[in-house]
Structure 1
């Protein structure tokens, strides 16, 4: 499990009981709106917006929820 990802990195995460795969779209380091919700993030506690390979939708995850693919 990595703690830092870059835009374009291919990652996996658990989604509804199965493993999803996708690409990091951006690292979020401040409070913002992303993927239809308010994201609370900071430089010390970043989150990542990822785009699913299967659905094409975006989601936001903390680094601990993502693994390198």
Structure 2
């Protein structure tokens, strides 16, 4: 089971550009469209919308891809 995050949590994740630090801005618990792509989500497997601290860009990931930043 993946970690659970809430809005405002500081997290980090890996991307093609390297490790990104950011903040959870929304938790999706139902299937949604994000950047013109279908993103499956549920209460048991939410998708986390995250905002990069450096660029302000948004991304969406399942909990397995995110690590909590202390």
- Shared topology, TM-score over 0.5? yes
Q: Deviations over 1:9-66 (max 9, x none)?
A: 00000011511000001111001123x1221101111110000111101000010100
Show the counterpart of 1:29. Answer: 29
Match of 1:3 in 2: 3
RMSD: 1.3
Moved over 3 A (4+): none
| Counterparts of 2:60 and 2:51, CA distance in 1 | 9
Structure 2 gaps, min length 5: none
Match of 2:64, SS state, is helix
Task: Specify the alignment match of 1:50 in structure 2.
Answer: 50
Please report the TM-score for the alignment, with normalisation by the length of structure 2. Answer: 0.87
